[in-house]
Amino acid sequence: MRNQIFAQVESTTGYRIRVSGPVDITLFPSLDLVAEDVGIAQPASGSDAEFATAKTLKFGLMLRGLLDGKMRVTDLTLLDPVIAVPKTQAKAAPAAQPGAVPGAADNAPVGGGDATSVADKLKNLTLDKLVIENGTVILPPSGDTPGKRIERLNLEAALPAYDQPLSFDVAAVVDGKAMQANGSISNFGQFLEGAPARVALTVDAPDTLDAKASMSGTATYQNDILTLSQFSAKSGDKTLSGTAVYQDGTATLSPFTATAGRDTFAGKAIYKDNIVTVSPLRANVRGTLLSGSVRANLANKVPYVEAALAAKTLDVNALTGTAKSKPSSGAGGGGGGNGKSGGAASSAWSNAKIDFSPLKLLNGKFSISAEQLIYDQIKISPVTVQAVLNGGKLNATLSKFNLYNGTGNATIVVDASGKTPAQRVQLTLAKFDARPLLMDAAGFERLEGRGTVSLDLNAYGASQRAIVSALGGKANLEFTDGAIRGVNIAQMMRNLGTGIVEGWQGGEREKTDFASLGASFTVAKGNATTKDLHLIGPLVRMSGTGTVNLPAKHLNFRVDPQLVASLEGQGGKKDLSGLGVPVMIVGPWAKPKIYPDIKGILENPAAAYERFKAFGDGVAKLPGLEKIDKTGALKNVIKDGKVDKDALMDGIGGLLGGSQPQAAPAPAPQATVEPDAAPKAKRTKKSKTAKKKSKKDLQKDAAEEAAKQLLDSFLGN
């Protein structure tokens, strides 16, 4: 009886059943069969290899109705089955043979893909319950990649009648992730004949989806092609709608529209052999419009993605959800007249952990181009970013980009493969407009001119403070044909003796023009040190050394500004002797204290005096002095080819925006009381002689007296 039953199953379905264990058969009131150690093969496929095995097979069949050709299966249960799904093969439709009888293909094996024959058999079949317990399903391989495994599969399905819905409820673990699903297909038998049917599906996959997903639509199955049209799916705030087609192992989604929150995506997607290709792709991500293509290989645990995207404006702030820093309200990094520091300069570095883990979620190559890129307050246009991501290491390059009328190249490396993330930035930027860039980057508006910058910096850490504290490398900065706004260095030198200066000296209209301003820095553990800070401008030279403590945002500089007897700007010499006072710049960079290094002057006052004399001799040789002396303050300095020291003293004061204090007159000798008449004449004569003598003495000692007055003024008397 067992052999007859299995032979009938093979004849009806095309599947051969092997039973190696015991078989229990009950005939009344229904036919019930329990078999141990069962295997199933499909001889029609050309192989006797079993594609399914089970520890136990249970089969129940109502005897009533069998004589009428009606088969009611009350129970079909597989315990601990292992099912290897055979790979589907595309087959051409066979040509019709002359004299062929319609319906002759009804006896073709079900596995042959003839849905009509299956539908015909279902007309006389009902299935009360199909159960799989603790099953394993192995999907077809893709190339050299083994097929995915579905484990701990528990399935329960039912088909009450041919024109009734097929319903199912399934739970399984896919790639180590648990999921549950239930759904239905209306009028299932007619669906197999090619009629459209409504389908519904609900999926709960907490390891993959943020919320339960539901899908509904209309499906048709004809000529081995499954089409799902006008479907819509939803999971939380994410939606997907469109038309999907599955044929010969390839799923095509075209057109489709997807949303994730307020972000939208549209285009065409194809899935085959674990590879998803989306081309073309159109997206609106947080207000940024993107277009291009994406290709993802999902065969491995870490997907490999290749993407080429373009945008008109690429707003990194919007894409990352990072708020723009507030630029300074006019004070910039230098404090300003209101004594308030700029926003970017005054805030402390954050200790908040930066999440670099997304770099480990993907591998691949990325190309992004934009007419304009916005990062924080900085604007770059145009820009092309080429990036490679592998094993948590990101290598990105920006080639030949334009930035504030300058051109540059940059390389950014972030290595998150180890325990502590490491970073490196290499940047060259030439001939950019300094003031708008510094305003947008740091809220600093005190510097104008054309800038050239080169950076090669490295760091490690997972927060702003950690990265800045570990910063090392080199940096070079050079600015030409510009000015320092809000400060007049020459005037500041004249007034240095008034005491410690809080913040930058001068008002908004003050300027120190320069032909060149720059420095090179060596950076170690967040401290940037320079020994060649320099400024060259008309009548002003400056050199200096110092350190910028980046973690503390603190300055410690000693600079030596000098008034020099030269109108040369661009190309001017750095080693001209001049009249100067060393200046200390110390404190937080948002509001440093600037004060004269009096100690340094007093250590060698003779040198200061000699520099003054050289300065006076140099002024006599200046050509075109009227170019800078618009006030006429120096017009009387040179007389008969010689320098009038008194006029020079007053002229320098006028040139720098004020008059120098005059020497206090010598106190008159104490008078004696004498009669009014005689003594009066005597005093008058004596007075004339003294006046004559004083004039002669002043002419003789003019240089020394003028030097004393000027030094007294500089040193605050």
Dihedral pair phi/psi, residue 182, rounded to 5°:
-145, 150
Torsion of CA 499, 502, 504, 509, to 10 degrees: -80
- For residues 253 and 244, the answer to whether their CB atoms sit within 8 Å is yes
Note down the domain range covering 200: 2-86+112-245
Which of residues 245, 264, 289 is at a domain's end?
A: 245
Question: Smallest Cα–Cα separation from 79: which of 54, 99, 101, 103?
Answer: 54
Dist CA 302 CA 391 (whole Å): 9
- For residues 196 and 205, the answer to whether their CB atoms sit within 8 Å is no
Segment 435-463, tens digit of pLDDT: 888 887 766 777 889 999 999 999 999 99
Segment 552-561, tens digit of pLDDT: 989 999 988 8
More confident residue, 220 or 665: 220
Which of residues 211, 245, 279 is at a domain's end?
A: 245
Share of the chain above pLDDT 70, in %: 65
Question: Smallest Cα–Cα separation from 546: which of 564, 560, 566, 536?
Answer: 560
Helix (H, G, I), strand (E, B) or coil at 177: strand
Which of residues 198, 215, 245 is at a domain's end?
A: 245
Dist CA 554 CA 547 (whole Å): 8
Dist CA 116 CA 123 (whole Å): 11
Strands 393-403 and 406-415: antiparallel
Asked if residue 46 is part of any domain, the answer here is yes
| DSSP-assigned letters across all residues of 37-66 | EEEEE-GGGT---EEEEEEEEEEEEESTTG
Asked if residue 287 is part of any domain, the answer here is no
Asked if residue 12 is part of any domain, the answer here is yes
Dist CA 180 CA 212 (whole Å): 10
Asked if residue 121 is part of any domain, the answer here is yes
Dihedral pair phi/psi, residue 331, rounded to 5°:
-85, -30
Asked if residue 146 is part of any domain, the answer here is yes
Segment 536-588, tens digit of pLDDT: 887 678 899 999 999 998 999 998 887 665 444 444 444 444 556 678 888 88
Asked if residue 178 is part of any domain, the answer here is yes
Asked if residue 52 is part of any domain, the answer here is yes
Segment 473-520, tens digit of pLDDT: 999 999 999 888 766 665 655 554 444 444 444 556 777 788 899 999
Number of domains comprising the chain: 2
pLDDT of residue 456: 97
Asked if residue 567 is part of any domain, the answer here is no
